[in-house]
Amino acid sequence: MTAFMKNVFYQATNLPVTPHTLRHIFNTHVRNLGASEAVLESLACWMQHKKETADKYYNQQNIRHKFQAGWNFVKDLL
């Protein structure tokens, strides 16, 4: 299955994509959509990780996006 998936994504993107890379992409996308902590914990369970492990390894959000929630909070205070 792994070879099949690599081939499908390589044909679609012309880039080497592994299942591990897809996990990163999916987890980051879900975070960028603003998933709740409960959803993130559930997804970590699906990947057979603790939430803290998933946070550490799969959170590929850029620094600007990571600061956005704090910035929105501060703006609301003003």
The domain of 57 spans: 23-63
Q: Residue 60's pLDDT is what?
A: 60
Q: Is 35 exposed, middle or buried (0-12, 13-18, 19+ CB in 10 A)?
A: middle
Tell me the per-residue pLDDT of 19-58, one tens digit each, with 9 for 90 and over: 777 777 788 788 888 888 888 888 888 878 777 777 776 6
How many structural domains compose the chain? 1
* Residue 42 included in any domain: yes
* Residue 55 included in any domain: yes
The CA-based dihedral angle spanning residues 57, 42, 33, 28, taken in that order and rounded to the nearest 10 degrees: 20
Find out whether 34 and 61 touch, Cβ atoms under 8 Å.
no
Region 1-13: what's the mean pLDDT?
79
* Residue 8 included in any domain: no
Q: Residue 47's pLDDT is what?
A: 78
Q: Residue 31's pLDDT is what?
A: 82
* Residue 35 included in any domain: yes
Q: Residue 70's pLDDT is what?
A: 75
* Residue 68 included in any domain: no
DSSP 8-state secondary structure symbol assigned to residue 14: S
